[in-house]
Structure formats: C-alpha cells, structure tokens
Structure 1
C-alpha cells in the first residue's frame, strides 16, 4: 500500500476566468491560448544558463509555479512548492534555414497539457551568426503586461548565472501569486444596469463572411504606423475635447464599427489591468476584458460623443472587479454558435512599442515579432503609442475576413480620425467613413457623365426604323415587334391629345406591351409619366396623383380607383407596324416623376429629367454590353425606378424585353424556366426577391448577368449569387442619384 504524500500542496477549483480560458482550449483544440515572445542575439546563448535562469524565475514567481489539472469537466489549480516544481522544458531547436519567426511557429503552437506541471517552456534556435530564444507561456499564468517584467528579470538572472555569480536578493525573493480582486456589490449593480436588455449575438459586419457554428478561431494580422497627419489630429483633438489619446482612438474605432453595420448599440471589449497599485509588476494573468457598451446617436456632436466615450470608459475601469466571464454567463444569447459572448470586437491600448532591444550578458538582443495564428475576437485593434508615433496591430479572424476587408476598415479608421478632428461640433452621423480607395472606386463608378448620350425616345425610334420586324417584347406567347411597339406609342400620343410639356400623366398598367407603349406615347406628347402600381393601397395612389398634379390617368388592365379630370385606356398594341418620322424631343424635358418612401412617412416625389435618364440608360447599356439580340427580363414592379432599366436598356440598345409574370418574383422555378426558355442574358431583382427565388432559380443563373437593386444587398446574399456562376452587378442607388 502506497503511503500518502505528506503536506501535498492543496488543489483549488479554478476561477471563473481561468475556467473560461481552459474551456476555449477544449472548444478549439488547434488554437492554444499561448503567449509567446522571442529575441535574436548577436552572439551565442548558453543553454545551461537559460535553464538555470528559467528555474530561478520559476522559484521566484508563484504564478509560474501554478499548475492546472483537468479531470473530466473539472479544472483545479495548485501552486507547486519550490522543491516540487519541475524544471521548465528548454529545447534546442533544429533550424531549417528560415526566418526565426517562422522556425518558432510550430513550437509556439504546440498546446500545453493540463497535467499539473508549470505552463512555461523555452526553445533555443542556433543560427550561423547568432542564436534566437523563444519563450512560450500559457495565458492562464501570464498576460502581455507580464512580458517586459519577465524579460528584464530573465536577462538579469541569465547574466549572473552565466558568469557564475549568485542571484541578487531581489531576484531570489518569492513573489506570491496575486488573487483576483474581490467582487464589490456596487460593481455588480453597475454592470447589471449597463448590460440591461443586451442579448449576446453574432455582431456580423457588412463586409466579410457570415460566422460558422463551429469556428476555428484561425487568425491573421497586419501592422500599420498611423500617418503623422492622423497622429497630430488625434493629439489636437484630445486637447480640444479634454479626453486622453486612448479615448479618441477608441471613439474612432466605435464609429468605424458602426459604419460597417455593428451599431447602433455597440459592445466592445476593452482590456483592463486588474493588478493592485502595490503590485504593478506582478507576473500572471491579471487582465479583465470589460464589455464597454455605447449606444450611438447620429445627431450627437463629435465633441459630446468623445466625452461620453471617455466617461463610459473610465466608469468601466472603476468597476473592473467583476470577471467578464461571469457577466457572459448571465447574458441572454441568440444565434447558433457557442461564441455568442458579450462582444466580438476588442480595442487594446498600451504605451510604447513593446519590449525594446536589451543586453543579454553583454550581447545585444533584438526582440522578434511572433504571432500564434489565432484570433479570439472577430476584430481587435491593438494600439501601441509612443511620443514619436502610434502603431496599430490589427488582429482578425481569417475565416471571417479577407486581408483586403481589414485593410479597407483600417483605412476608414484613419480617415475617421482626421474627420473627427476637422470639425468637433459636427454630428457623428454626418461623418463619412471613406478612405482613399473608397473615394477612388466610388468616383470611378460615378464617373458616368455622357452629355452626348442620345435621348432614349430617339434611340428606341432609331432601332425601330432600322429593323421594324425585330422583336421588341416577348410576353408569354405574345411577341411584339419594334414597329408594332412604335405604332402603339403613336396611338397613345394621339389618345392623349392636349397633353404636353410640363404635364404629368399617371400611368397604371401591368408589365407588358401596353405599359411600354404608354411610356413612349407619353414622351411623344412632351409630358412626363407618373408610374402607379394598381395593387398599392388606394390612399397611397390618391396621394401620389394629388401631390403630382397629374391631370390624366393612362391605364390598362385594372384601373386604379383615383379621381382625375381625364382617364384614357391604352389602345391595343399590334404585333407589327411601321415607325413614323423621327420624333422632335426636348432633351431637357422631364422623363418621369417617381415616389419613394420619405423620412416623414409620406411618399416623396423625385423628378427625373430625360437627359439624366439618357445618361443612365447609356451607362448601363455599356456596362452590361447590351446590343443586338440582348434579352433582359422585366421582373420588377414599374412603381420601382429600377424597373425602368429593365424596359429601356434593351429597347434603346437593340435588344428585346422578356416580360416576367408576377409569379416569377416568388417562384424560383418559374423564373428559372423563363430564363432558360427565352435564353435571357440578364435579370434584375431586389434583395428581397432574390432571397425568395434563389434556391430554385440559382441553377439557371450561371453565365448570365444578375442585377441587384432597389435595396442595399447584404454581403452574404451577394456571395450566394456569385456562387451560381453569374456575373453580378450591384445597381442600388436612390432615385435622387439618377
């Protein structure tokens, strides 16, 4: 029978914070919670002296002698006595001739086993001109604040032991492990109030990919030096608004996240050092990431927003004793991923650029930059500030974001810093988070001016005159030629006798040849049309007719119940016909009046001129490569301004229109059949319609052009469309930009 061990160190249950780190290891075993730091020496490093120095630090710091043991779902910790602590693992690593950072990567990534042994190891890489030394410590016993203290003490111990001298008393004294600060009742109450009503949910941004149920936390990073102009702007603004530099940068980070769709109720993780004032150099895991909650008001001034961020930040720091992991446990969650923590974005600020170069027993040692290839947060800005500049290390989950996404977000952050300082009294909602690349891309996209673009009516007539027998519209089994459509337009003009320039003619008809003839016929009189959807509520239609001053209703099919001085039914459209003379058209006349939802709740009318419309149609015809034989589906209700593109781009460029039944807006199989049967080149729909039909219509989109307009398209929908093999065009734009 084995005798019991006398005076065995007591095992204690892990704290909530420690247990959370350990569970993260278990949930994502390929991404260990390891912190690593390394340096290159200009000469040789003594392996025996490294082992002796590490053992000296292990004896000195109880935190480094703390071992953890995992048994099932239980984690316990034990501070090992000096005489029972095993020497840390120190390996001589074989070099493959690469860069030290790459050579150390497998050593850094190797997880620690929770067997009760110290969670510290070192690796020595022998190079041709000098050696490199890497330390790996588990986050359970270490944090970033511990690194400079550890390096300083290691260098001092190494120098003494390599020279055969005893350690100085300061390095021989035991540094007890610090307990977590006691949780105060007032802090509990503070966080209850701050997080009231908040539900932890994936904070998906408008860029990047949707999260997955089982994330790997694979990460990448980029490092940027803030331009001098931005650094100067930050430091001027901190004086103007009386807020520290960290708060100014944090405010810009919050606004950048909001601009990408994370707001307006934002929760961002802000690390806080919870070491007591009498132990600022304690080595260990003494960081609590606080859930800073900020609700954004677009009407608030920059000055007031930065000051409110300042107050919220310092209030959070004064209540840092409640572990964030405890707060996370109490928070309601939504979504289907285990990562629904309080926040997915973090902001970290430290003074200085990390550990500077130092002397190791008379040899210069230069720190290396190591990454462990993981990202706990979707996005983290790690700000390093010094008197001569500011550097920002951006760490991001590579399974969510491409590098280009992150570079653009960072560029917009830089621009926001300049915008904040340029007018501290401006409303934050008026700030435009565009970087230089945004301006270049958007400027190029908007550079569509073409003063010589032919008028749409003139273009349609020219196509009809060139080949009157060519197809203009296909509506089910009905085919109308260009000549037939133009003949019908002339009949509409004659039926609207008395209408002329300056008049508004309300047009209500289902998509088809009669509606197309109505549009052209109204323009032949010199008037502009007002599109009405007969299926809209009567009160909306009555308001539009009354507000526009329309004196005539031109209708086909179902007549809207609106009062007008005159109502004219669209004459039947013949299958064929002969174009008349070239129309006499004023390019500066109005084309149509479109009503969109206004901020007051009432529809808002916007007038669009014929010159602007000609420019728009010519631009899209060029963009899409529309020409002879080009077939475009007419799917969208004509009361939506993007429907005009579906009708006019093919008619003006030599193609033809394929009229879609209303069923095709909801039935993906019906849309797929239409596309295939008529060999359509392009189809346009709103994001709402695309969501409804994509599952069944997607197989018919390959090789075709898919246009998405009417509403901003979500990135995930855009990806699904691209996955069909289509050529996707984003054509969203308010009527006011036409």
Structure 2
C-alpha cells in the first residue's frame, strides 16, 4: 500500500453503486449477504481468533466501511478499526445454535449504519463451535472469502496476538480502486461506446423476460423472500460434462450453463434465452489480494432452436460466453442502458435467472490446534427469480443449490423444479447425444399423470336439436325467445321455424346443404338457426356489415346453397346461391330431426394467415356435447334468462342461443345496437331480468361500469381473463366461469369456476381431453410449459378446402391408449398438479383481439395488395390504456404509402375489427440479425406515436365558449385515448377502437343526458363530426353549456378541472 494518510471516504465502483441503489430503493434486506461458516472442533483460543479477525478488519478498509450519501452521490466512509470483532456466545443446545445461525443469516446488514462485516462464534454444549462470518456483497465477493480464509489461517496464533507483519502490504487502498479499475479498462483498448454497441447488438430482439411457469403474479415491490433446494449428482457426472466441454474447446462452466439453458428452454417453452452470469472483474495482479466487490454480471444470450444435442448447445454457449467476456468491461448498468429493455417493476432487467459456478472454495481454514470443516449457511432470500449455483464437493461430485423466489413459486413447486433439474442434468450428462427435446423431464411417478383430462369418451347419445324441439313443445306457452319487446312462446317459435324451413326447402335446401344466414339480430336469429339445423342442413352465419368482397369470398368458400336474408335486402351476388327472404309466412311444422350418425352442423370463418378467411366445419355430435355441457355447468333452469349478445359470426353465440332452449328458459336476443354497445347491453340486462350473461373480458370491463343488477352467472371467454377483472367479476355476480376453447374444438373446451387467486382456464368439459406437449408431442410434466393439444368429440372436421392445413393442425397421435385425433392449438399452456390448465400466450403470431382471432399475416397480405405498399408488418399493442393493432407500411424505393388510402383498402376487404387502429408509413422495417422483423422496435414507434399531440387541444375554429358541445366531445375522446386529440381526424385513426368508442359514448351520455348510439359514432368518428350529430339533438347544446359552465374555473375551460368535472366518473381502462 502506498505511504500516505488514510482516506476517510472513498468513491464507489459502478457495481457498488448498483447495490447501493437496489438497497435504498428496493429494500433488498438480506439478499446481498455472504454467510460463510466453519464447524470448529478441538482446542480454540477465542482471544487469538478475535485478534486475527480484528487485524483483517484493520487491513481491509472496506470491511469497516459504510455508505454515506453526498451531493455527488453515495461514497464509502472508512471508519476507524474496532478493538474487537468476534462476538462469542455462550454454549447452548444444537437446536438453539441452529436457530441462532438461521436468524443471523437472515438479518440484514445496514449499508448506512454498519457494520458490513461481522464474526460470530456460536458454541454448542457438545463441544463444537460454529464460526460464522457475515459480509455484505457491496464490500466482498466469493474471491474475497477465499482471501479472508487464507489470511485468517496465517494470522491465527494460539496464545499470541495476531501479527499484521505476517502478511504482505496491500497494493491498493479502497480510495484507489475505482481509478485503478478505470485505468485497467482504458488499457484494454475498447471504449465504453464500443462495448455498449456490442451489447446493444447482441441483445437486440431478445425476449423481454424468461417467462417461467410461476405460481404467483410478480409483485411490483418484491421482498426477496426465497427458499433453497440442494442437489447432489452421482459420481462421474461432472467428469462427463467436462468431457463434452473439452470436445468443444469450452470450460466446465459453459457445459453447466448449457444444461441449465436447455432445461429452462424446455420448461418455459422458449428457444431464445438470456441468463445472467457473474464474472470476476479483477483485471490485474494488484487486485488479487484485495477484499472487495469485483464482479460484473453478464447477460449471456443463447438460442436453443433446432433441437440441439448437448455438444452443439455447448458450442453455441461457448461463443456467446467468451464474446461476452471480451466485452465485460462495461458494468451491468451500462449494459442495461445500452440494451434499453422494457422496465417492469419488480423484475430484473435483461435476465431473471442467474447461473453460477462456485470455483473459489478451494481455500481451507486452518486454525492451529483445531479442526475446521466448511459449512454452507443458507439465508432464505432470493435475489432473482431463480439462481442455480454449482460446485464440486471434496470428493468431486457435482452439487448445486437452487434458490427460488417464494413470491413467485410455491415451496412445493420450487422443490419439484429443483428435482426436475436434477433428473434433466443427470440424463443429458449420461447421454449427451440426446437431442434437447428427448431429454427426460418427468419425475418418478409422473408418467401416468400427464393428461389434463381423459382419455375422453366418444359416445354422445341423441341430438341437441331434437331435444330442443321436444322442449319447446312442452309447455308450448312458455316464453322461449325475446328481442326488442317481441316475445315468442315455444309454440310460436316452432311455428316460425317451420315457416323458415318451408322457405329453405323451396329453395332446394336438403340435408347437408350449406345455408348462409344474414339477418338482423332478433327472434329470427334463433328461428333461422333452428330452421337450418332441423333440416339437417349446415348453418353458416354471415355479417351483412362485412365488406362486399369478403362476403363474396366467404359465400364462395362455403359453397352455399342458399342465403337467408331479410325482406327487402340487396340480392346475393354470388353465383349459384339462392336468396331466401325471411319474410315468408307459409307455416310448416319442423320435421323430424335425423339424429342418426354425425351430420355436419355449422361452418364459422376465422382469420387466415394466407390472406383469406378459413372455414371451420363442425359436426352435430360436437355441437350437442357443447350445448349440453354449457347448460349443465351454468345450472340453467326454467327461471333463467340468458342474454344472447355475441355476434352471430362468432361461435360463442351458439350456446347463448341454444342452451336456454334446451334448459327450458328464455333467450334474450340483444338487438344490433345493444350487442355492440356495453352501456345499452347493461340496460337490457337490467330491464329484462337476465340472469346469465357471457362476454369477452374486454366487454366485461365496460359492462361492470354500468351494470346495475347482479347476474346469477357471468361467463368470460374469448380472450385472456386478467386477474384484477376476475376479482371484480367475483364481487359482481353470484358465480363466475372462465371458459376457453378454439373454434376448431367447438367453442369451449375447458371451464373454471373462478375463485380467489391465480387465473386458470380450468379443466376439460365432458368427452374432452387435454395434453400439454413439447414440440415433438411428448407430454410435459405439471408446471412445465408446452403446446396445448385438445382431443375428444369436440374436434372439428377440418378447414373447408384446405386439406393441407387440416392435416397440419389436426394430427393423429398415440398417448398410450391407441391413436387418436388431436387439434394443435398453438397456445402455450401448463398444467397444475390438480389438472387445471393455465395459458401463457402463443407459439405463433396469432392474437386475440376483443374475442376475435386475428392472424396478422392476413392483414399484412391484404395491405400488400394495396398499390404503393411493398412491405407491411402488423403488431398488437397495449400501452397506457390503449390497445389494438398497428400496421407499419413500406413503399417501393423512393415512395411512401398513403395510410388513408391503405385504410380505405383494408376497410373494403377486412372486417372492422381487423383494420389496424394505427397505420404508420416508415422508410423500412427494422430487422434483427436473423432477418426477422424487430417487433420491439416497432412497439417503440407505436409508443412514440401515441405520445404525440397532433392538432393538440381544442378545435381550430370554435372556442369552448362558442361551442360547448365540441368541447365536451373533445374531452370525452381525450379521456379515452389519454392524449390530445386531433378534432378533424377520425377517432379510429388516432388509436381508438370500438370499445373505446363505447366508453366515450358512455361519458357523453352521462354528461349531456342525451341518447347516443354506436351507429352515431361510426357515421361521425371525428370530434367535429360527432359534435355536429349531438348538436342536432334537442337540448344537447344547453346541456353541454351547463356542464361546461358548472366546472369552469381558474384553469380555464380547457383545463384539467373541466375534464375532471365533465367526466367525473373514471372509466376503467
């Protein structure tokens, strides 16, 4: 050490500053402590031991430092050396010592109050003692523990005080370390900017997180509570892994890292991972004898795609790890700034799993006259979601400590996860030639417990349509269907069904014919469905609001025999399709239903990635099973009334229309306006006494703001049910069900009766079987993620005219009880121990948008058909309360697409829900090194666009004093979009959607007390246009003026006070 006065303060290194920040703002507690213990037996001189420890604290300044805030940031305050360090306790029982050891291990060391290093001697009354050293990571690392162990062995001399001269002077004081580290980094020849560029490029496009199968949602402010499981592998395991590493020119650590990466890839169903790796950052000999925190953490990225064998994965990992080490001079905080990942409270940026090889445990404590045996002291804390620390025992056996956050994993799941890692590593080390997907994950006894339902029965007796016809006739005077004040008894409904049957038969409809139904919502919605089905024909619902080209495409693909339309409707333009008017009044009773065999029942069209919609054909047995199950689990009875508010082109509408008739209760068909406006639907529910209501979670958020009655049953399906919404529903309805299923498996395949806690989609319906499998259709164990396969009677026939797609999605596989047909959902799922299924997103680009299934590829294909568009990328966004689709458009070289022209084109060929809310012209699409589109960069563009303020504030021509209606509309739309709104631009062109429009209408109806409907908004979607519509309503201007005047204040008419007053009721996002 240089000969100069001791410094009272010292600057921190970047890594020390990071730990200081974490401790100050996240209350890390004991998570960053090192606890090292030794069991001591034989004669021990406590005074000599204390003397040796005191010399160590005097020698290494950081051990007697604390952190102090200053105007220029926190610094280290070096305190005077203490006279004594060792805290020796009176002898006690082994149990008492164990309890005391655990208490000490979990007790934080205060960075501001200190001390940051403590030594404890815990004596057992058996004669042995535990020496426990505790030190904060801010002043020490694993290497430092080895330094202290070695020096303590030298300094301890029984019967004499420790001699500081027995050790060589230290080459650096604490105050000199940061500058010495900077000097060493500069001498490496790589600038911080060059290192940042490397990490930015390496981590571009990396997944935001490694999404492990957690049991609990991530808290915004973690407590870092954790638990640990210790693993020990058989002799020879480490040697086999070292041999694989040697073949690839890699290290033992890289082999361990590769096995862990493969394991995480399998259980999380991700093939692109980032795992944290701590690396020693002692750049020269002068740093080797120092006690301090000389560790950087590198986010090492690895791809597991291609189902590699272990050697291949080790080779990939070696490249990533060694390249990262070359650029390790940039501190972790600098890497985070360079990569700029999305920040989520409570989640470590860039990685959530840490992989460690503890190879600094070689130094043994030697105390003259006493025997010292190393003892690992575990604190129940977790710095990351998962930490796996490997080491080799003295006999060479591979061991590991798996540390997991108990705020995310249950104790049982954490231990099971650890056991699964043990099985996985042992198997791959024994046979490194296995492909990743072939390495076993199942624990003993799990082989027969991998199905989440089944094997499913296939017998479906009878036919639901036959059952419904019989039920409608007994008693015939019960109200069966009602809509907009019109009521039909069971007998009247049968008469109407007979009229429509007669008209269809006259048009040449025979069993097996496909019949399009394009009618406004009402009681004929029910009658038409029954008329088609009682003819043993195939029901094909059509939406008259679809663009003409898309309607023609669907009618042609379905090969319709007839289309049922309302009287006076425009003729059908598809050749060979017979138009049938619903105005027929020639009654004929429904004929007998042929319940034999399994006839086709219906065709629903969904989005197709090729650019054309695809028709899903479903049979009668599947429909029968669904409707009976829906009526069963909802407990439908004669006293119930079921709201049918789902669009008829959405298969979810089928159980709403048919189950009430089967159960002998009433189906309340919402008209077109109520079906698309949640506020009107809430009024319908209240006025008609609806007891059972089904909606997507997006609609439920709005309904709950306006619902004034308590349904007996609420069903949520069609998209993911957020936990907070589930909890709201539990307080708003007697019983809540979360339902799930793709169109290809007949509407719903699973049901969960909601309860407090995490959300699941529950278990399989009757005659339905579920399997969670890997990419090779091998069953995944409980808690691990894979693709959900669905089997049973609900499987569709396939896709009309797409035999290749049918063969790809509907596969035959044997799970041990014979070959069966299965549908590959593409949904990533996991199964709980009790069989309940959880969903975790998609394997492909398909998304669910307000219950509708959307293939971005179809939108992109259609956009490229528009003149002036060469490339298109569509991404879903959900930012700051706004959600929808954003399309990025690239024109031929030297040109830029016109978003308005593209919107007009898409609106002419796609349903409204598929037309992106945002259309943005860009010079080029950002690409990853793999050539794929950089969706994260696109989402950054979306955020920037949503933050812009086009034509900000108030209307250009009318001030609020002259036009209070315009001001009210402006504020309502701004409240929904959460940004300034351009008054002359369509609400939908500024990121709005149909649900946002419904929210804005609800605000305006409340503020102005006038009737407004969705059709008004669709026809007049800008501030100015909607204001013109509202001004035409009697009393609207006076109501708006009164509302504005009532809240005008010092801030002026356009201030925040007006917005809060006019829109006084917050609308949930």
Distance in 2, matches of 1:682 and 1:292, equals 52
Distance in 2, matches of 1:35 and 1:507, equals 71
Partner of 2:635: 625
Partner of 1:444: 452
Give, in angstroms, the shift of residue 610 of structure 1: 1.0
Native 8 Å contact 2:15 2:293 kept in 1? no
Partner of 1:707: 716
In structure 2, runs of 5+ residues without a counterpart are 746-793, 795-1069
Cα–Cα, structure 1 residues 535 and 307, in superposed 2: closer, same or farther, change >3 Å?
Answer: farther
Partner of 2:350: 343
Question: Which region of structure 1 is more displaced relative to structure 2, 239-248 or 531-540?
Answer: 239-248
Q: Say which of 72, 85, 90 aligns to 1:88.
A: 85
Question: Which region of structure 1 is more displaced relative to structure 2, 354-363 or 180-189?
Answer: 354-363
- How do 1:490-569 and structure 2 match up within 5 A? 490-497=498-505, 498-556=508-566, 562-564=573-575, 565-569=577-581
Q: Say which of 377, 380, 384 aligns to 2:384.
A: 377
Q: Say which of 170, 185, 192 aligns to 1:182.
A: 185
Give, in angstroms, the shift of residue 619 of structure 1: 3.3
Native 8 Å contact 2:572 2:579 kept in 1? no
Partner of 1:19: 17
Partner of 2:227: 221
Cα–Cα, structure 1 residues 125 and 300, in superposed 2: closer, same or farther, change >3 Å?
Answer: closer
Q: Say which of 390, 393, 397 aligns to 2:402.
A: 393
Q: Deviations over 1:259-313 (max 9, x none)?
A: 3xxx78754432222235857776431211112345x696786776664444222
- How do 1:75-114 and structure 2 match up within 5 A? 75-77=74-76, 84=81, 87-88=84-85, 90=87, 92=89, 100=97, 102-104=99-101, 107-114=104-111
Partner of 1:3: none
Distance in 2, matches of 1:298 and 1:122, equals 49
SS at 1:553 equivalent? strand
- How do 1:106-125 and structure 2 match up within 5 A? 107-114=104-111, 119-125=116-122
In structure 1, runs of 5+ residues without a counterpart are 1-5
Give, in angstroms, the shift of residue 150 of structure 1: 4.0
Cα–Cα, structure 1 residues 489 and 444, in superposed 2: closer, same or farther, change >3 Å?
Answer: farther
Distance in 1, matches of 2:448 and 2:333, equals 44
Partner of 2:199: 194
Q: Deviations over 1:355-385 (max 9, x none)?
A: 9998875456562542253x44344444556
Distance in 2, matches of 1:681 and 1:15, equals 65
Question: Which region of structure 1 is more displaced relative to structure 2, 441-450 or 407-416?
Answer: 407-416
Say whether residues 1:316 and 2:315 are aligned partners.
no
Distance in 2, matches of 1:252 and 1:653, equals 51
Native 8 Å contact 1:633 1:660 kept in 2? yes
Say whether residues 1:469 and 2:477 are aligned partners.
yes
Cα–Cα, structure 1 residues 359 and 252, in superposed 2: closer, same or farther, change >3 Å?
Answer: same
Say whether residues 1:247 and 2:248 are aligned partners.
no
Distance in 2, matches of 1:720 and 1:14, equals 48
Give, in angstroms, the shift of residue 484 of structure 1: 2.7
Say whether residues 1:570 and 2:582 are aligned partners.
yes
TM (normalized to structure 1)?
0.80
Distance in 2, matches of 1:38 and 1:672, equals 66
SS at 1:731 equivalent? strand
Distance in 2, matches of 1:46 and 1:722, equals 66
Distance in 2, matches of 1:455 and 1:717, equals 36
Native 8 Å contact 2:342 2:349 kept in 1? no
Native 8 Å contact 2:697 2:720 kept in 1? yes
Distance in 1, matches of 2:619 and 2:70, equals 75
Distance in 2, matches of 1:453 and 1:48, equals 88
Say whether residues 1:604 and 2:609 are aligned partners.
no
SS at 1:449 equivalent? coil
Distance in 2, matches of 1:241 and 1:470, equals 80
Native 8 Å contact 1:471 1:656 kept in 2? yes
Give, in angstroms, the shift of residue 446 of structure 1: 5.8
Native 8 Å contact 1:491 1:571 kept in 2? no
Question: Which region of structure 1 is more displaced relative to structure 2, 171-180 or 68-77?
Answer: 171-180
Distance in 2, matches of 1:716 and 1:441, equals 31
SS at 1:554 equivalent? strand
SS at 2:650 equivalent? coil
Q: Deviations over 1:490-521 (max 9, x none)?
A: 22222111212332111223443212211211
Distance in 1, matches of 2:689 and 2:97, equals 58
Partner of 1:455: 463
Say whether residues 1:134 and 2:132 are aligned partners.
yes
Distance in 2, matches of 1:383 and 1:667, equals 58
Question: Which region of structure 1 is more displaced relative to structure 2, 563-572 or 456-465?
Answer: 563-572
- How do 1:254-265 and structure 2 match up within 5 A? 255=265, 259=269
The alignment's C-alpha RMSD in Å is 4.8
Give, in angstroms, the shift of residue 124 of structure 1: 3.7
Give, in angstroms, the shift of residue 26 of structure 1: 1.5
Partner of 1:478: 486
Give, in angstroms, the shift of residue 416 of structure 1: 8.1
Partner of 1:34: 33
Distance in 2, matches of 1:306 and 1:667, equals 56
Distance in 2, matches of 1:549 and 1:625, equals 38
Native 8 Å contact 1:202 1:340 kept in 2? no
Distance in 1, matches of 2:294 and 2:25, equals 23
Native 8 Å contact 2:282 2:288 kept in 1? yes
Question: Which region of structure 1 is more displaced relative to structure 2, 649-658 or 400-409?
Answer: 400-409
Partner of 2:73: 74
Native 8 Å contact 2:391 2:399 kept in 1? yes
